[in-house]
Structure 1
Amino acid sequence: MSDRSSAPGGLALIESLVNTLDIETTADSLGTAENLERFGITEADLPRARELRESLRAALLAHAGHAPHGRVTPLGELLARAPLVVAVD
């Protein structure tokens, strides 16, 4: 458990999504009934939700000066597919 406080406001949802994977144990809780409801997704949405989670994780790691844990779709590319376009640099 970290001594850090939770992310403020709406960022808490992003933090929750990113934290659905324990990288050390590879335990993935995104597909639990609780998290499906929390994030408003279905079983069919899981592959895209996981792709988003890993892109967010890679962006956060890059911001902290670290390489991603694996190959991911760049967040900017992933967001460009969405109806709302957000530029991240």
Structure 2
Amino acid sequence: MRTKDKKGKGKREKGKSLQLVVFTIAYYLLPIASKAQCAMCRAALASEEGGVKAEAINDGIVYLMIIPYILVAAAAYAIYKIKYSKKGD
């Protein structure tokens, strides 16, 4: 049996509408930040002819991309070890 609030909507429906509002706001705000960063990188790379700075920026992007994957993998491994470890060991 669903519980109803004063307006007649269920609590689950109210939570979904809140999620939709938060997602919509985040969707419209994220492209602003990403465009600003791309313009900064493009300006920094356009000023140099050698390409050393471009290679350094690419290495930095790869470094920043790998770190979250390593952290998630370490957390998943720790959870796996805790959940499936034998109680006698």
TM-score w.r.t. the length of structure 2 is: 0.30
Q: TM-score, normalised by structure 1?
A: 0.30
Structure 1 or 2: more strand by fraction: 1
Higher relative contact order (CA 8 A, sep 6+): 1
**Larger Rg: 1 or 2?**
2
